[in-house]
Structure 1
Amino acid sequence: MARTPRRPAELAGRVFFARDAVRYGLLTKNDLRSSAWRRLFHNVYADSRLEIDHRTRCWAAAQWVFPPGCVIAGRSAVLLLGGASPGTQDPVEVLVQPTSRFGPLAGLSIHVAPWREDEVRLVDGLPVTTATRTCWDLACWLELVEAVALVDTLRHAGAVRLPELQTYLMQRRGERGWRKVTEVIGLSDAGAESRPESRLRVRLVRAGLPRPVTQHVITRAGRFVARVDLAWPEFKIAIEYDGLWHLDPEQFHRDRQRLNRILGDDWIVLHVTSKRMREDFDGFLTEVRAALTSRP
C-alpha cells in the first residue's frame, strides 16, 4: 500500500522556501519529491492542492527567487497592472539591470535592460514596471501584432492612456526600438475587448484596409440595436469574431437574434473564427475587401 505523503500543518496550503523547510526539520528532501508538493522554482514549492495562477508565481518569484534589482515586466506586468493574464505555466518575465549577474532560471524569462526609478512601481508589494514602460518593453520584445493586443488590454483596463504613452514616446524619441514602439502604440485601441479581436484588427489594417471602429454601437431611431466587434459604419459592414463563448447555445442564439436585427438595416456582417484566422486569413481578407468595394 502506498504511503500517504507527509504534509506538516505549518506548510499545508502554503507556498514556501524548501531550504528553510528542510533546515527546520519540517520536511526531508525525499518528502519534497512526493505528490504532496509542487515545485514552482528552484527551492520554491507549494502545497499541491493549491490552485497556482500566474499571479501566485509572480509573488513566489519576487519573494524567494529575485536578487536585488529585479523587476516584474512584460506579460507578467500586464497581468499585475490589470490587463490580460499569461498562461499559468508561462514563465514569469523579469527585467534586470545590465550590471546584474542574475543568470538563467527555470520558470523565469529574464530580460536585460536599464530602467529609471520612475519606471517602476509597487503593485501589491511587488516591483513592477509602470504601464508606459511595460508598453515599451512589449513592443521591443514581441512580434508587432501580439504587442498591440497586449497594449490594448492595458488601455482598455484604464492602466494607461494614449496621452501618457505619447508623452513617454517623446521622452525616449530616437532610442533603439522607438520606431517600432511608435507603430505599436499607433495601432493600439482602448476599445478592444479581447486579444483575438485586437489581432484581427491589426492584421486587417496591416493588409491595407481602412481602420475599423472597435465595439461599434448600432442604433435605430435613437435606440440601441446591437454592438459589433469591428465595423466600418460608413459602409454598414461589421465583423464578428466567433470565440469560445459561442459554444454556449444560449449565447449563440442571442447573438444570432442580434445580428438578424442588424441585417434588417442592410448591414453586411462577416464572421471569422480562430481556425479561419490561422488557416485561411487571406481568404477572409478577400471577402472583407469584396464587401468594402461593393458599397459606395
Structure 2
Amino acid sequence: MENVRADLSAGQAGFMPADRLPTPRIVVPTPVDPAGVIGPRAGAARGGRWRRTSPGLYVPADAEFDQPAQRIVEAGGHLGRYGGVTGWASLHLAGADWFGGTDQDGQDRPVLIAVGPGRQCPDHPGAAFTRHRTAETEVVLRHGVRCLNVHRALLDEIFQLRSLTRAVAAIDMVLHAELTSRSRLRRWLRTVPRTYGLPLMRQALRLASDGVESPRETALRLIWTLHAELPPPLCNVELVDANGRFLARPDLFSPELGLAGEYDGAHHLTVEQRRHDLAREDRLRDHGIEVVTVVAGEMSERRDVVERLRAAAVRAERNQRRGLWQIRPRPDPDVIFRGAALDAPLQCDLSADSGREQPR
C-alpha cells in the first residue's frame, strides 16, 4: 500500500522505519488507600470522582485515556504475581500498530489473560482467560502490567484466530512493527514443546514475509502465491530506474515477471490520490513493469482476482524490458531488530522483549 511517505523517499537511499504506536496515555488501576496517597480513600472511591475497573481497583473518572491501551491495563492491572496479558493486547502494548483489539465487524475483542492452570480467573468484564501453562521467563512488564512476551503472545493470538490467512497476517504485522524477525521466531519455535496453536503458527511462519504493511496486503499476497501460483513477490521494495531515480514502491513485486501488484483501499478513491496512482502506474509501465491493482471489496471474489493476476503475469512476461529498473536494497531484518534492541539486555536469549518496564 504505497503512500505519501514513499514519494518523500524519491531519490533518497533510505529505509522506511516501522510505524510504532506512541506511548499511550493510561492510568493503572489502584486499590483503596486509607491515606489517599496511591489510591482513593474508601469514601472517595464510592463517589463520582473515581471509577471502579474491577473489584477493589479504581481509576480517576476524569482521567484522559487512550484506547484500547486503557482497556488492556484495566483488565490486566490486577493480575498479581501470576500470568499475564497475552494475544493481541500484549502485542498492542508492545507497540504493534495493527493489533487494535476489534474483530472484523468492528466489535471489541476481549483482552486475553493467561492465568495458568489451577488458578482463579479474576472478575473482569471484557476479559477472556486461558489456563495454558505460562513460564515466568515469558513474562515482561509493560506500562505496569504483566504481559507475555512477543513470541508467546503471538502464539496465543494465532490460536485465537484459527485461520491461516489471519495467522500469516498476524506474523506479518509483528514483523512490520519490528518486534522480532522470522529467523528469531523460527529459533524460538524450535524450543516450544507440542502445544496448542503450534502447527498453525509453523505453517503461517512458512508463508510470512518481510516488508508487508497491512493485513490486506497479506491477503493479496496469499492469493498471488497460493491460488494464482505466481512466484512469491517481494513486499514494498523501492524500485528505481537505471540511474537510481525513484520509480515506485509497490505493495507486491515479482522481479522474475516484472509484475507489480497493488491493493487500493478506500482512500485511493480521492481525486488527488487517484492522480498520484495513475502517475505511478505510468512510470512503471514506461520502464517495462506491468501493474495490476485490486481495490477494496474485490478480494471476496477470489476467482476474479486470480484470473486478473494471471492475465497480468502473461502481459508482464510478454512486455518486460530488462535493464530499465532496479531494486533498491534494504537492511537485513535481523540487523534492524538487533539495532532496536541494544538499549536494554534481553530477558533471555530467545525472548523478543527486553523485560523492562516502559515509561508511562
Q: What is the TM-score normalised by the length of structure 2?
A: 0.67
CA distance 1:16–1:80, shift in 2 (3 Å)? closer
The residue type equivalent to 2:164 in the other structure is L
Distance (whole Å) between structure 2 residues aligned to residue 255 and residue 28 of structure 1: 57
Question: Is the CA contact 2:140–2:148 (under 8 Å) kept in the aligned structure 1?
Answer: yes
CA distance 1:40–1:178, shift in 2 (3 Å)? same
Question: Is the CA contact 2:83–2:139 (under 8 Å) kept in the aligned structure 1?
Answer: no
Distance (whole Å) between structure 1 residues aligned to residue 172 and residue 94 of structure 2: 13
Q: Secondary structure in 1 aligned to 2:213?
A: coil
The residue type equivalent to 2:99 in the other structure is S
Residues 1-296 of structure 1 mapped to structure 2, 5 A cutoff: 24-26=42-44, 28=46, 47=61, 50-63=64-77, 65-83=78-96, 84-87=98-101, 89-102=108-121, 105-142=124-161, 143-172=163-192, 174-207=194-227, 209=229, 210-223=231-244, 224-278=246-300, 280-294=301-315, 295=317
Post-superposition CA distance 1:84-121 (Å, at most 9, x none): 23147432221120121206742112222112222221
> CA shift at 1:245, angstroms?
3.1
Distance (whole Å) between structure 2 residues aligned to residue 256 and residue 110 of structure 1: 49
> CA shift at 1:220, angstroms?
1.4
Distance (whole Å) between structure 1 residues aligned to residue 101 and residue 309 of structure 2: 32
Q: Secondary structure in 1 aligned to 2:206?
A: helix
CA distance 1:150–1:104, shift in 2 (3 Å)? farther
Distance (whole Å) between structure 1 residues aligned to residue 66 and residue 100 of structure 2: 13
CA distance 1:104–1:141, shift in 2 (3 Å)? farther
How many residues align? The count is 277
Distance (whole Å) between structure 2 residues aligned to residue 225 and residue 149 of structure 1: 27
Distance (whole Å) between structure 2 residues aligned to residue 49 and residue 120 of structure 1: 28
Distance (whole Å) between structure 1 residues aligned to residue 194 and residue 65 of structure 2: 44
Which one has a larger percent strand, Structure 1 or Structure 2?
A: 1
CA distance 1:118–1:211, shift in 2 (3 Å)? same
Q: Secondary structure in 2 aligned to 1:191?
A: coil
> CA shift at 1:167, angstroms?
1.1
> CA shift at 1:215, angstroms?
0.7
Q: Which residue of 2 aligns with 1:7?
A: none
CA distance 1:15–1:112, shift in 2 (3 Å)? closer
CA distance 1:291–1:167, shift in 2 (3 Å)? same
Distance (whole Å) between structure 2 residues aligned to residue 235 and residue 260 of structure 1: 18
Distance (whole Å) between structure 1 residues aligned to residue 313 and residue 294 of structure 2: 16
Q: Which residue of 2 aligns with 1:6?
A: none
- Structure 1 portions without partners, runs of 5+: 1-12
Q: Secondary structure in 1 aligned to 2:236?
A: strand
The residue type equivalent to 2:70 in the other structure is T
Q: Secondary structure in 1 aligned to 2:166?
A: helix
- Structure 2 portions without partners, runs of 5+: 1-25, 34-38, 103-107, 319-360
Post-superposition CA distance 1:242-294 (Å, at most 9, x none): 1243245433322321221112123221111231113x222111111222244
Q: Secondary structure in 2 aligned to 1:171?
A: coil
Q: What is the TM-score normalised by the length of structure 1?
A: 0.80
Which one has a larger percent helix, Structure 1 or Structure 2?
A: 1
> CA shift at 1:74, angstroms?
0.6
